[in-house]
Amino acid sequence: MSETLFDLKNVRKYFTRGAEEIHVFDGLNLEIEKGDFVAIMGPSGSGKTTLLNMLGGVDQPTDGEISFSGDRIDNLSEGALANWRATNIGFIFQFYNLMPMLSAARNVELPLLLTNLSAKQRKENVATALELVDLADRTTHKPREMSGGQQQRVAIARAIVSDPKMLLCDEPTGDLDRETADEILSMLQLLNRDFGKTIVMVTHDPLAAKYAKRILHLDKGNFISEEVD
Amino acid sequence: MKIIAQIWTVMVMNIRSLPQRLWMSLAAVLAVAVVIFVLLAFLAMANGFNQTLSGTGSEDIAIVTRDGSQSELNSVISRDGVNIISTAEGIAKDKNGNPIYSAELYVVVDGIKRTTGTEVNIPLRGISSSGVSLRDQVTIIEGRMFESGKNELMIGSSALREFSGFELGREVTFGKTKWKVVGVFSTGGSVFESEVWADARTVQTQFRRGSSFQTMRMRLANTGDITALEKLIEADPRLNFNVETEAKYYAEQGNALSGIVIFGWAVSIVMGAGALAGALNTMFTSVSARTTEIATLRAIGFSNTSAFMGTLFESVVLSLIGGIAGTTLAFAALDGLSASTLSAGFTQVVFTFELSPDLFATGIKLALAIGFIGGFFPAWRAARMPVVKAFG
Amino acid sequence: MGDLYLVFKNLTRKKMRLALTLFATFIAFMIFGTISAFQSALDSGVELSADDRLITVNKINFTQPLPIAYYNRVRTVDGIVEVTHLNWFGGYYQDPKNFLPMMAVNENTFLKVYNELVLTDEEEAAWKGNRQGLIVGENAARQYGWKKGDRIPINSNIFSQKDGTTSWDFTIEAVYTGEQEQTDTSGLYFHYKYFNETQSFGGNYIGWMGVRTADPARNGEVIKAIDDMFVNSPFETETVPEKAFNQAFLAQIGNLGLILSSVIFAAFFIILVIVGNSMILAIRERTSEIAVLKTIGFKSGRIFAMVLSESIFLALMGGGLGLLASFGLIELFNGSGVAQLPTLVLKPHIIMQSLMFMLLLGGITGIFPAITAQRLNIISALSRH
């Protein structure tokens, strides 16, 4: 019954910094199945964010293959990748990255501008997404009029509004207090459990990682251990 | 003293951080420079024109024209008129006891402006040797003086520079008569240098003026004193003339470009408002880029006066740089530039753009004004910055 | 919500900067509109000059006279429809400062040569019938508050009457209008006979002649015929098309075109620098937002278009307001009656030019930020936090 969503084979990622060549990944293999909730942990510089960027198609491996639902994405053009992201990936960032001049509803609507939905449909979808994150009463608020937790919930609504298969979260609770962080994490858990979203979450926080189904520990470009919930 | 040390610290900090906002600061500087350049271009033009004309008139010379004629071209004085006026008290006498005066004609002929190739009005002055001696600093640069009774011309060096058709040795035709250019003269940059001179009697004959003249110039016995002449003219109803010192006559004509000055100021102030927008933009950005720094200094205990003064200073310095660049550029590109325009006398006056120290000061003042206003409001914002921003 | 909504929201997020940038653009286009209108008014004397009209002047200079006898001789030249003659009067009203472009003309032929002056047949007949009759352009009439039927004294700064006075009496028989909006209506015209018989200098001289030809194509032939007729006489003539004459006269004042164009250029240069700088800054501040849009799946081309339309939108807004203001200024100027200039008009070509410059300004100031935004690398942009 398990279906592989992401399949990374022998992925290498090198950076050059000055004269030095840094090997972030040197033959990384990873499979992520549909419906999984993976937390990736590791110290700074271990390649967590690079891995997330490669999964999201905003960064490409130096060598190796990355497939999504059996199709290679590591050799797609920039334009094709943009299309692919628009349909398949929802991003959630540590600092929410909402547009400051747009209301919550407009922020959530952004990804729908990339679809062919009518204005009315878009509005409905936005309302559904905002209801799901429990912000139906905050639709006209600007980001600066909301708390960090609320902003992150708007960001989650934005990530799920176009109904992507995959959510990629980069330290989603890194800027939040414990209580709010738990709220956000529960919400992610719910999206994973009840809506079947596959989630990959990079985090520093062991408590946050506990919400995932499995935790991967990354160090110097290798998984050193794996815990399964 | 403490406050001055504080202001100094903030200033140094601001100036040191300028390179981070290099392009934006350069833009503000450039905008101010262009405004100042434009202003000075107009002012230098009007100033040069004015200098040329007011430099022409002498307080020792009186000029008589027909009343209401407004310019030499429109004036006319009969031989009789000349004779009567020459008897007036107040005219200096030569060693033989004869009054020193010159009756002159002023007709317009065509020349070709070198820069445009179009026909322009050149004044041809009929003059005698006494007329030449009434002008200071007349020197023959090339060739010789015209001979009386002959169809000979000499041309002023400014006219020769700007207009073609009267080169030395050239033959010129006016109607049926042929004239030869025999000399080039200089009068030290005055209006007369824009003229062509010929023998007065010959001009009378060739231009069918009979025995009439157009203007009369005389050396005054007492500098600037024309009361005796005025009395004579007033007393005799046949004498429908106007007398004034040459200095006054040309000073009035020198203001002919005052419209240009007004236009120049209007344009520069409007453009200055545009540059001000640029300066404000730069300074507001500068303040917001330094929010943390300013708030931190305030948290340490710096006064808000120092934040205010520091920002104002930055703006004024930037504008000053722009002002200096604008004036320097104006000086390099415009000072001494030769031009000509149609004067009140309906003929071309050749003049050069002239940037005086006064104009430099004016340019710098305008730049400082832009800098001050452009810095004031952002400085106000900096001074009122809440200290808590340091911890944000 | 569409892309335009995003563009608009981006544009208006920093009110102060928007206001300042708009103001700078506003200034530039206000200067452009107003000065262009002036320039076009200055040029209108050249532009509106009739192709079939020639000016015959003394070859020495146009201020030198011609004998009146030339008038009848020129009338015999083949290819001519009508000839008239004019004398500069040097008129002023009350104060020498109120100088008037006033000419003594042949009243029978003047309006046939200068047929762009519009008056009724009755007015024309009344003017021709009154030796002291004067026709006045509506611009001059407005300036001095004259109307038809007024009796006015006018002085000359050149001529005097035989009794020594310099004042002549006239009756205004018509206030003429121009055939076109920019036709010069500041001139005053009266009978040559009245002038010639009353003035004290040597009479029977005219200033110059206006010649209407049958066909502009025959101008060359007519010019040669006229000038050849008087060659080797004490009064040689020089005949030129009216357009060339007006152009040369304007050039005597100086290179006004260059001065005005330089001012416009300087204004645009300033604004280009200010607006360009402001756009670069605006995009730099938005780096991470643009990166997020790209991450979500917005394509580079679309982001490029959004940034570019933002700057074009800005230029159109500020420029439109500036043009509107110049329109107001021009109306104010026309109403003030201080100008010795034809009516100032914001002609369609000026408006088209402004629109083009707005697009150009928007394009130039937006293109580099747009390219920056288009090329923005998501990873480095997002890792700046």
Candidate from C2, C10, C296 with C-beta closest to A85? C296
How far apart, in whole angstroms, are the C-alpha atoms of residue B44 and residue B370?
A: 21
When the pLDDT of each residue in chain A is averaged and rounded to a whole number, the result is 91
Residues of B in contact with C58 (CB under 8 A): 175
pLDDT, tens only, C65-77: 999 999 999 999 9
pLDDT for A1: 47
Interface probe for C, chosen from A113, A120, A122, A175 (most Cβ of C below 10 Å), is A113
Q: Would you tell me the crossing angle of helices C300-336 and C15-47 to the nearest 10 degrees?
A: 50
Q: Do C60 and B174 touch (CB under 8 A)?
A: yes
Q: Do C27 and B174 touch (CB under 8 A)?
A: no
C-contacting residues of B 262-281, CB under 8 Å? 267, 270-271, 273-275, 277-278, 280-281
- Among all residues of chain A, which has the CA nearest to that of C294? A82
pLDDT for B370: 95
How far apart, in whole angstroms, are the C-alpha atoms of residue B79 and residue A117?
A: 99
How far apart, in whole angstroms, are the C-alpha atoms of residue A59 and residue B249?
A: 82
> Does residue B123 contact residue B231 with C-beta atoms inside 8 Å?
no
pLDDT, tens only, C268-323: 999 999 999 889 888 988 898 999 999 999 999 999 999 999 999 999 999 999 99
- Among all residues of chain C, which has the CA nearest to that of A79? C299
Domain region containing A78: 4-228
How far apart, in whole angstroms, are the C-alpha atoms of residue B232 and residue B62?
A: 14
Note whether C384 contacts A: Cβ–Cβ < 8 A: no
Identity of the amino acid at C35: I
CA distance A179 to chain C (A): 24
> Does residue A40 contact residue A48 with C-beta atoms inside 8 Å?
yes
Q: Do C27 and B273 touch (CB under 8 A)?
A: yes
Q: Of all helices (H) and strands (E), which one includes residue C210?
A: strand C208-213
Most confident of A215-219, B122-126, C183-187: B122-126
Candidate from C5, C298, C382 with C-beta closest to A82? C298
CA distance C281 to chain A (A): 17
Q: Do A113 and C379 touch (CB under 8 A)?
A: no
Residues of A in contact with C2 (CB under 8 A): 113
Q: Angle at Cα C382 formed by Cα C377 and Cα C385, nearest 5°?
A: 140
Q: What is the 3-state secondary structure (H, E, C) of A144-209?
A: HHCCHHHHHHHHHHHHHCCCCCEEEEECCCCCCCHHHHHHHHHHHHHHHHHCCCEEEEECCCHHHH
> Does residue C48 contact residue C182 with C-beta atoms inside 8 Å?
yes
Taking the domains of chain C in order of start, what are their residue ranges? 3-45+255-382, 65-234
- Among all residues of chain A, which has the CA nearest to that of C296? A86
Residues of A in contact with C9 (CB under 8 A): 99, 101-102, 106
pLDDT for A46: 84
DSSP for residue C360 = H
Q: Could you tell me which of C356, C259, C63, C225 has the C-alpha nearest to residue B121?
A: C63
Q: What is the mean pLDDT of each run of 10 residues along chain B (392 residues)?
A: 79 80 88 95 92 89 89 90 92 92 95 91 94 90 94 95 94 90 93 95 91 94 92 88 92 82 91 92 87 82 86 92 96 92 88 93 96 94 81 56
Subunit partners of chain B (3 or more CB pairs within 8 A): C
CA distance A58 to chain C (A): 7
Q: Tokens 């006219």 identify what position?
A: B159
Q: Do B240 and C23 touch (CB under 8 A)?
A: no
Q: Angle at Cα C21 formed by Cα C16 and Cα C23, nearest 5°?
A: 95
Domain count, chain A: 1
| pTM for the structure as a whole | 0.87
Transcribe C25-66 into DSSP letters.
HHHHHHHHHHHHHHHHHHHHHHHTS-TTEEEEEESS-TTS-E
Note whether C385 contacts A: Cβ–Cβ < 8 A: yes
The CATH number assigned to the domain holding A46 equals: 3.40.50.300
Note whether B255 contacts C: Cβ–Cβ < 8 A: no
Q: Do C278 and B348 touch (CB under 8 A)?
A: no
- Binned at pLDDT 50, 70 and 90, residue A191 comes out as very high
Note whether C298 contacts A: Cβ–Cβ < 8 A: yes
- Binned at pLDDT 50, 70 and 90, residue C385 comes out as very low
Subunit partners of chain C (3 or more CB pairs within 8 A): A, B
For residue B321 the two structure tokens come to 């740089």
pLDDT for B152: 96
Residues of A in contact with C292 (CB under 8 A): 91, 93, 97, 99
Note whether B377 contacts C: Cβ–Cβ < 8 A: no
C-contacting residues of B 151-180, CB under 8 Å? 174-176
pLDDT for A112: 93
